[in-house]
Structure 1
Amino acid sequence: MRRCLIHLVFITLFLIAAAPGAAENEAETVIMKINDPVVQVDGMPYEMQVAPSVSDSTTMVPLRFILEVYGAEVGWDAEAREISVRHNDVEIRLEPGVAEAIVNGEVLAITGAPVIENNITLVPLRFLAEKLNYQVDYLPDTKEIIIKQLPPPNRPPVAEFEFEKDVVPQGETIYFNDKSYDPDGDIIVESKWTGRERAYFASGEYQVTLEVMDSQGNWSEPFTKTLTVTDEVKMDRLTYNLHYPIPGEPLGNITNFNVLDLDQVNPDVSIDNLKVMISNSPETVLEDGILFSDFFSGETRLYYHHINGSGENKKIIPLLINQSDAPVSLLIKRAGIAGPGEVMAVGRSAAYRYLDFNEAGAKYIELQPGQIYKLNEEINSLVQPGATVDGIFDVDALGELLFQVIVTGEHSTMEDYRHLTILNKDDVHIRGTFPAANRSLSIQLDGTEPVRLVVADGNYDEFLTGHDNQSNLPGNDSQQSKNLGNCGVTYKITIQARERMGVIFSPRGGVFSGAGKWESDGGKAFYLPNKGIMQPQTEFALIGVIEPGQEKVLEFIPPAGSFLPVNLIFLPF
């Protein structure tokens, strides 16, 4: 009899004292006071049957009233003696007199067990605020407690995709149906695939994983599916990429021909008188000083590439200095800046940004007498130990300027450069001023057999010869210098072909990671290769395809950090 009476009491306490408006119109703000049964709900007064109270330093509030004001669902399980709460993605189970709660299946201790007062359940306010995303403010002057329901926490997106086919032959294009979504309706702004390829060229099972990020910066959990590739061969890797070309796409190892056995093409070559000033020696910087110094005027290419080997933070800064008594106008026509970072990645990025430079980004400045201008003012000059910086600039000066590259301590000022001395070369890398920095090649391909073009080997394609002048420092004699690898030289290669022709990139001198650009394909640069790096002699990348009778112009600049020479292979198909 007593058990039945207890059940009836609990049923009653959940039927009375419901909040005004219940869940139909959720409130924005609730204001209450300790020991005062009158509560303000969005400015309207209501009287609760039980006032908020303080027990053992814990503020206790009427459960049903607060929850239903904010649209939560409250229930009572008489048999289990449990109070249940559901709001958004949160489910809570409580038991009167027990200082524990089950929140989304997890048992948690709470400060202050739920209590019954006048048949009304009271629970700790702090517990509700933490678990149901309430903002609680206390105003000491008025002793008011202000409760607001905060927006629900942003949920991460959900990654999901399907293969059009789960089982495919080698060399067949794989179609992916991306079904990712965000439960909050945020835009998915980035997708990160692992193991995804356009096609696969060996039998086996391949795991493909997708992660997505929403506009709030939240990443999904990884979603993985397995694709089965059979023994059937529809196309090999080379054939597939020639028919579905993407510039920079890795081709792996090609066994169709031996590169060094291919005939070499003899292009028509023209050069201009553009100078390139190169600061790359000492490549690894160990102390403060001047890395490069020379005067220039007119159209010039300025190039620097250095590694901080000092063991402490350094500033590596390319400077333009007007030492004349009149203003000098300067146009920065083209630029590619990268770093600080890993040596090959920095060289690759600088080459890509230089080739992809939009002429709308050209900058005009006027240097006043004595003015010092930082060429890389838009990026952080601070270089951590072991990190590399790289920059390429095409400039046009209407007067004489001094180009200097300096290295100073982290806390040095620009005025400190006046006390720096020239650093010795490392006798391996390049420092100097070189003429003929633009090289144009024209190739007519009429044959039906693969041929090759050699770039930057010092024999068929000669290295530039110049001088390390350091002309601003008395007592430093000009020394002859050779530009091994033709760093800072742009190659514009015009190609015409009678047959449909694949253009393939082959590094010969060492590991390679750079960039190129087809001027006739909208002028968009691409990475070479477009992922990873290439090993010499055994790995290749596709540059593009030339249709019969078509003329295309390829622009290429040797990237710092990679090895030359390279070969361009022209493969009829």
Structure 2
Amino acid sequence: MQKRFTQLLLVVLLLCSIPIPVQAAGSADGLEKLVLIQGSKQMIHNGTNVMALQPLTATKGVTYVAARSLLNEVYGKIAYETKTKQYVLSNGINELRFTAGKTPYLLNGVSQKDGLGAPYVLKGTLMIPLRTVAFHFGLTLTAFPKDKKVELTWSSKPIAKFTVSNVNPYAQQTQIDYTDLSYHPRGLAIVDQRWENNLNLFEEAGTYVVTHWVQDESGAWSDPYSVTITVKPPNQPPVAAFTTDKDTYKMGEFITYSDQSTDDENRITSRLWTNNGRGYFEPGQQTITLKVTDANGAVNEFSKTITITNETLYSKEEFYLLYTEIGEKFPINGSDVLNFPTMNYDINKTQPQTLIRANSPETIVDEGIYYEDVVTGNVRFLVHNYNSRSTPVKVYVIATNEVNNGVANVQIGPVGIGGPNPAVPSVGRAVTGRYLESRLNPKITNVQIPAGQSRILVQEYSDKVVKPGDAYSMFADVVMDKQLKVQVVVVDASRNVFSTLPYLSILPSNDRHIRGTFEDANRTMIVNQTIGDIKSRMILADNVVDTRLPGVDKTTNTPVLNMGNYGTLYTIKINNVQPHTAIVVNPRGGHYGGAFTVNGTVVYTTNTSILVNPNEVGMLYKTGDSVESVTIVFTPASGSNLPINLLFMPMPGPPPIVGSFE
């Protein structure tokens, strides 16, 4: 008997030695209750006294509560983000983000301003407006001014919640998945659940209400949570269809296709044509196929066969000249171009501008200063690099007002930015086109640089992160009213450029790419002879006929020649272009992807790709029924090969009226 009593006593003592977590019990009516007392740290949670870190405080009519103390009792979470300097409060449904001293706050990422006062920090404790948190966290707030008390109540039941993978499925076709997000605000375990209409596949179209309940370990059931699903009838595949304007064509005759495909929901997402030539140059039959796909992946296709006769309407070259759209390309025999007579032109240098070309070393291997010079006046920057580091970088153009002669003003005019992107020709095409577009409608910004200080020029260029393997390029025109030291600087994206710059050195150039400062970087070419009566060409950026721009690498005071004249702005004025003349660009050095402004319109080469080699040309312009003057503005595209030729090719008479090609 004594032995049994001793064992029982040991069990009791052991149990008493185990710490039991304190948690306010739920009330009999299924509600949690938290009483806060004005001016006191005391809080009463379901009858249990709890002490807050700071007393409930009223300031300018707003009641503030210690954030962490409140969140502990309402089963929420609080954290501080050093980077954003925000306090993050969450309760499993909503997230609030506060900044100390500021009234606006974020509710699930959306800015809010309820005018209830700004949060503040008191002795290391965040104090927040009680009413704001109560409202967004679903707490019912009742004030008892006479008793100087505030009462918060909320459900102590489990919360049923779920998401549906598709609320507009197709009957018999769409598989539905449900993700259970149910929880208990006090952390109790969910032990049971009940569903209605949670089918994974609905057989019939209609509206269905899916409802979910959960039960916690204390036996309490949640309120129902429902989602309405609207089931559509089974998806019907699209119907592919098209017509041609005729069934029989001559060789070199334009073919008009009319797409007549339909879909029950008008959601065709893909049209894939096969053998839909705009014209054919061999006699015989040609079968054209159109395959269409709708948004749900259903596919249908349709084919039609047409006949090409032995009669010729246009040769291949005539056909392409007539029907190639501006900004598109067509094939040509590149060796024949060399037999075209070359045009003479006069060069005018009436618009002086300094060019800073920072293109060497083109491949980013090290952090450092990639170019440096002291300049003033009208300056164009061309910066073009490829990131070969294992870490992301940022590229900066920094201007420093070193001379103690007052505030320097920098006006930033046309800017073009290409990339970052691993496709180098595409980057060069994009930066050139955007720069030319910006020249047509420049957005002028101004930067002031006090004496002895530095500023980043073209902030939007430096904001972008250049990942490993990406190319990045910029053209920018600026006007400086004082002499400024300008530097092109590359540092790892994680670094502050100004704190890193004093420790960087000027990197050496290399033999392949060019950097330097070049004067007279604008070339105006005037052509007065008759153009378009015969095939002819204009040779550009070949370093022989169109000579290289001389300059100096100011980091070493070494004379350099701008091979390819990258960054030079060309304005070509052709004053006597005959009617029905096609103006096309032909790459002679390899691939070329750039842009040209032709009579005030920017034309890309090409709209959707690049020119691959000398056996392709890009259509820039076609004259109409009378003699015209044509002005072409361009700068050689970074990442492309030079030289290029402008070709002037007579078209075969007025083109016939034809339909559009799709």
Q: What's the TM-score, normalizing by structure 2? A: 0.60
The 1:175/1:310 distance shift into structure 2, 3 A limit, reads same
Give the share of equivalent positions with the same residue, in percent. Answer: 23
1:136 aligned residue: 211
| Aligned counterparts, 1:128-527, within 5 A | 128=199, 131=202, 134-138=209-213, 143-151=222-230, 160=240, 162-165=242-245, 167=247, 169=249, 170-177=252-259, 179=261, 183=265, 199-202=278-281, 204-209=286-291, 224-226=301-303, 228=305, 230-232=307-309, 233-254=312-333, 258-271=336-349, 272-325=351-404, 326-341=406-421, 342-357=423-438, 360-369=441-450, 370-377=453-460, 380-414=463-497, 415-446=499-530, 448-470=533-555, 477-495=556-574, 496-519=576-599, 523-527=600-604
Could you tell me how far apart the structure 2 residues matched to 1:159 and 1:373 are?
Answer: 57
Q: Confirm or deny that 1:543 pairs with 2:620.
A: yes
Alpha-carbon spacing, 1:500–1:382, altered in 2? closer, same or farther (3 Å): same
The answer to whether the 8 Å contact 1:159/1:221 transfers is no
- Cα distance in 2 for partners of 1:105, 1:304 equals 52
The worse-fitting range, judged by mean Cα deviation, of 144-153 and 291-300 is 144-153
One-letter identity of the residue aligned with 2:553: D
Shift of 1:142: 6.5
Paired position in structure 2 for 1:565: 643
SS of alignment partner, residue 351 of structure 1 = helix
Q: Kindly indicate whether structure 1 or structure 2 has the higher relative contact order, using CA contacts under 8 Å at least 6 residues apart.
A: 1
Residues 395 and 462 in structure 2, CA contact (< 8 A), matched pair in contact too: no
Supply the distance in 2 between the matched residues of 1:419 and 1:274 (Cα, whole angstroms): 32
Q: What's 2:607 paired with?
A: 530
Q: Is the 8 A contact 2:577 2:630 kept in 1?
A: no
Quote the Cα distance in structure 1 between the aligned partners of 2:208 and 2:304. 42
- CA distance in structure 2 between the partners assigned to 1:124 and 1:285 by the alignment: 59
- Secondary structure of 1:264's counterpart equals coil
What does the per-residue CA deviation read over 1:260-296, in whole Å, with 9 as the maximum and x for residues that have no partner? 1221110122123211110100111111111111222
Write the distance in 2 (CA, Å) between the matches of 1:89 and 1:107: 8
Shift of 1:451: 1.4
Letter paired with 1:418: P
Q: Do the aligned partners of residues 105 and 529 (structure 1) sit closer, same or farther apart at CA in structure 2, a change above 3 Å counting? A: closer
What is the CA distance between 1:557 and its match in structure 2? 1.4
Question: How far is 1:392 from its partner?
Answer: 0.4
Deviation at 1:146, TM superposition (A): 3.8
Look up the SS of the partner of 2:438 in the other structure.
coil
Bigger Cα displacement from structure 2, 391-400 vs 147-156:
147-156
Residues 211-247 of structure 1: per-residue CA shift (max 9 Å, x gap): 67xxxxx686565444546443543443234334522
SS of equivalent residue, structure 1 residue 261:
coil
Q: 1:61-86: CA deviations, max 9, x gaps?
A: xxxxxxxxxxxxxxxxxxxxxxxxxx
Give the length in aligned residue pairs: 445
RMSD of aligned Cα (Å): 3.6
Which segment is superposed worse, 141-150 or 336-345?
141-150
Task: State the match for 2:106 in structure 1.
Answer: none
Tell me, in whole angstroms, the C-alpha distance in 1 between the residues paired with 2:630 and 2:459.
33
Question: Structure 1: any 5+ residue segments left out of the alignment?
Answer: 1-58, 60-86, 92-102, 109-122, 213-217, 471-476
Letter of the 1:461 counterpart: D
Q: 1:88 to 1:388 in 2, by over 3 A?
A: closer
3-state SS of paired residue (1:352): helix
Mapped partners of 1:374, 1:133: distance in 2: 59
User: 1:166 touches 1:227 (CA, 8 Å); kept in 2?
Assistant: no
Q: Is the Cα contact below 8 Å between 2:597 and 2:633 reproduced in 1?
A: yes
- TM-score (ref. length: structure 1): 0.69
Range with bigger deviation, 489-498 or 280-289 = 489-498
Bigger mean CA deviation after superposition, 539-548 or 194-203: 194-203
Deviations 1:364-401 (A, max 9, x none): 22223213214242675322222100000111122233
Alignment of 1:22-33 (within 5 A): none
Cα-to-partner distance string for 1:431-465 (whole Å, 9 max, x where unaligned):
00111221111223426321111001111111101
- Post-superposition CA distance 1:465-484 (Å, at most 9, x none): 101113xxxxxx31111110
Output one character per residue of 1:280-324: Cα deviation in whole Å (capped at 9) or x when no partner.
001111111111112222211111111111233222333333434
Distance in structure 2 (CA, Å) of the matches to 1:301 and 1:485? 16
